[in-house]
Structure 1
């Protein structure tokens, strides 16, 4: 009897080992396509100055699921709407954490913000707090008078240039607009007339975004990566960026030192009250560094991305006069003689909304979504995603996929006529704000700011190229970074419409 039990047990063990061997062998027969790399650096040399473009070119050879070894870090690049859907919807919970990267870690006070925090109770509670208290539709509507004031100031400023037929730098105008709106609506303070309303503050913001998007050897090359970052000067730049931003946060907090009643608080007042009451968020007390990390998210995400979208939209319109004339005709035919297009009016501007969608298709604010980190094993297109693997969704490549978009390089807003595709994260062909649990919570705030700003500038002014410049001379080159700016500033000549 004992011998029979031993034989049965041995048979069971052999069967289990054979099954495990077959599974392992099956996985080995379906490796994730991967370009060859070098020892130590792996595929780092293939990223280039604009990684989203380099990865797009590689995906044409290796497919929509591609494995790169970036130094020590296994990294999967997804370059189609179908593979993005599998990661962001079907397996969202398996890969919704974040890797700890040097730039994000240092600028967010050890990943205490929404964008760079790993997936845990702290992140869940923080996202809920920001969604309810700052990014809700109710709050965004309540701050509309501030946006009205700032857009009116912008119109008056451009009108002065129009009367002199002076070219204006739209990159700077849009950045100044978003700085003013975000600082007043989110931080409750105005920096008009101070050093922070100057180009210096804009440079601080741009430098911080560059630091978040810069390649850091520390993240990919063990033992010597930090030496490389010191030698190249990246670590020094990063430390200076942290100091500059920290000084700004302290100024914002100083302006909120006077206590207010619970009903008349702005968002920063609320955060300061949580700190004072030693509120527990996740498993830790809410501190001054938590406040600063949240302010970083609002500052960098809210300011840069909206300004960039408006700049790219105007560049595409200047390059496509037919579309410019059509969108201006829509606005002017509906509203006639107006001092300001109101927030409520925007819902009638269907073609303008198509123009903005088409801008996001070709120029998504973040061409590569912030990396996700796999927490538990799953498969995409039959390829196994192992824990600790980083996943990047190449939104820039998805927007140019000929299997999804006809004539993908052409700026054609009409492609969205009778289309149900929106930007809310459920249509994976168009992901300007990401998707799944890590989708940008400020989507509504950013969308309304872009729509409102563009509607008014397109209504009040005709836009001409500087003397001697042709449509073909407008370049669409990109600058490197976490978000993608237009490399060369967009300079156009405004003419007042109502004067004409």
Structure 2
């Protein structure tokens, strides 16, 4: 009797599944999804990525179009590869695509996204962004840092002149990393990393955090394979770097609280906002740490990458190098002093070189992923909430 009941239940379940499958299939045909390449069970389209994901995605987009839907394990990924489609995502439907996916690294390193870059779209994010812009990124503030930029550029040029006169070699890659790091350190911390142990440690921690944010946590996309992240030490590294960064920033903040100086830097400004109870926005001590981290990440890696690629392309093209050298020589004043920022405004060929390098070698080959908060239609295709956008 029990056997007959078991067989009946199994048959009933199978028939129900078959009916549901037909119904769901019929319903799915009404939803116009973006074109997708074929995918494997469990891992989805992960097998179609190479060591250079942006190149793999470009190759796939040439076959499937400017809007392409992939699946990295359980996570749907919308790949946007045309200016027209990007405008719809980043401008027309900007609010719906304003959130960021919070990966394991973001949760562990950024306290779940308490910085400007990864904070959820809302009042907190708007206030954090406002604090950064008003106190660091307005035209007036950027102009006020001109002397700092000028000092650091002159220091780099002197190093190159000394190396040239003594016929010794100089590591340009290291110089190009040091320049924006020193500028950012002086603006944010009041001193540059190459002359201060605390600032040097901060540069090291920032680099470690950037490496972890760029890692691919397999457990985020294929939970059943999450144990791999533990075996390769990814989870442990997040905890170690997070603890080290937090301790270092506590030291930085304490130094600023105890310091007696007349000119305030970015940390001092944030501390004064934290103390002000009447501004309608309470900045917490941990928030200050992550805002400083955003400034270092945004102000160092992109600039150094652009400088390095610019020199690489100029070395590859001697004619362009000669033309740019002629423009620089014609701009230098008779006394032989270094070129000022205002004089750079009139250097048309230099601007053309920079624009061409940015076209050939974007500092980030792919934008930081966004997360769709609600269903939307883009270029006639239905995109479901929860889809990540690259």
TM-score by length of 1: 0.68
Does the alignment pair 1:310 with 2:312? no
Kindly state the Cα deviation for residue 40 of structure 1 after the two structures are TM-superposed.
1.6
Q: 1:168 to 1:290 in 2, by over 3 A?
A: same
Q: Say if 1:108 and 1:296, in contact at 8 Å, map to a contact too.
A: no
Pick one of 134, 137, 140 that aligns with 1:135: 137
Q: Which residue of 1 aligns with 2:249?
A: 249
Distance in 2 (CA, whole Å) between partners of 1:273 and 1:336 is 43
Q: 1:280 to 1:242 in 2, by over 3 A?
A: farther
- Specify which structure has the bigger relative contact order, considering alpha-carbon pairs within 8 angstroms and separated by 6 or more residues: 1
Q: Which residue of 2 aligns with 1:216?
A: 217
Q: Which residue of 2 aligns with 1:324?
A: 321
Q: The residue matched to 2:95 in structure 1 has which SS?
A: helix
Distance in 2 (CA, whole Å) between partners of 1:95 and 1:130 is 22
Q: Which residue of 1 aligns with 2:89?
A: 87
Q: Say if 1:47 and 1:55, in contact at 8 Å, map to a contact too.
A: yes
Q: 1:160 to 1:335 in 2, by over 3 A?
A: closer
Distance in 2 (CA, whole Å) between partners of 1:204 and 1:304 is 13
Q: Which residue of 2 aligns with 1:390?
A: 388
Q: Say if 2:331 and 2:339, in contact at 8 Å, map to a contact too.
A: no
1:407-446 superposed matches below 5 A:
none
Q: Which residue of 2 aligns with 1:39?
A: 41
Q: Which residue of 2 aligns with 1:234?
A: 234
Q: Say if 1:32 and 1:65, in contact at 8 Å, map to a contact too.
A: yes
1:62-101 superposed matches below 5 A:
62-101=64-103
Structure 1 window deviating more from structure 2 (381-390 vs 271-280): it is: 271-280
Kindly state the Cα deviation for residue 95 of structure 1 after the two structures are TM-superposed.
1.1
Normalized per residue, which structure has more helix? Answer: 2
Q: Which residue of 2 aligns with 1:341?
A: 339
Q: The residue matched to 2:213 in structure 1 has which SS?
A: helix
Q: Which residue of 1 aligns with 2:114?
A: 112
Does the alignment pair 1:350 with 2:348? yes
Q: The residue matched to 2:256 in structure 1 has which SS?
A: coil
Q: Say if 1:126 and 1:281, in contact at 8 Å, map to a contact too.
A: no
User: Aligned residue pairs: how many?
Assistant: 365
Q: Which residue of 2 aligns with 1:367?
A: 365
Deviation sequence 1:215-271 (CA, Å, 0-9, x none):
01232123552x22111112222223223332432332122113779x953221121
Q: The residue matched to 1:92 in structure 2 has which SS?
A: coil
Kindly state the Cα deviation for residue 187 of structure 1 after the two structures are TM-superposed.
2.2
Q: Which runs of 5+ in 2 are unaligned?
A: 1-23
Q: The residue matched to 2:258 in structure 1 has which SS?
A: coil
Deviation sequence 1:350-387 (CA, Å, 0-9, x none):
11111111111111112111111112222222211111
Q: The residue matched to 1:298 in structure 2 has which SS?
A: helix
Distance in 2 (CA, whole Å) between partners of 1:246 and 1:358 is 39
Q: Which runs of 5+ in 1 are unaligned?
A: 1-20, 393-500
TM-score by length of 2: 0.87
Q: The residue matched to 2:257 in structure 1 has which SS?
A: coil
Q: 1:327 to 1:247 in 2, by over 3 A?
A: farther
Deviation sequence 1:86-131 (CA, Å, 0-9, x none):
1111211221111111222322222011111111110011111111
Q: Say if 2:181 and 2:192, in contact at 8 Å, map to a contact too.
A: no
Deviation sequence 1:417-473 (CA, Å, 0-9, x none):
xxxxxxxxxxxxxxxxxxxxxxxxxxxxxxxxxxxxxxxxxxxxxxxxxxxxxxxxx
Structure 1 window deviating more from structure 2 (250-259 vs 146-155): it is: 250-259
Distance in 1 (CA, whole Å) between partners of 2:172 and 2:286 is 34
Q: The residue matched to 1:180 in structure 2 has which SS?
A: helix
Kindly state the Cα deviation for residue 141 of structure 1 after the two structures are TM-superposed.
0.8
Distance in 2 (CA, whole Å) between partners of 1:339 and 1:311 is 24
Q: Say if 1:279 and 1:286, in contact at 8 Å, map to a contact too.
A: no
Q: 1:42 to 1:358 in 2, by over 3 A?
A: same
Distance in 2 (CA, whole Å) between partners of 1:125 and 1:296 is 17
Kindly state the Cα deviation for residue 139 of structure 1 after the two structures are TM-superposed.
0.8
Q: Which residue of 2 aligns with 1:484?
A: none
Distance in 2 (CA, whole Å) between partners of 1:141 and 1:93 is 31
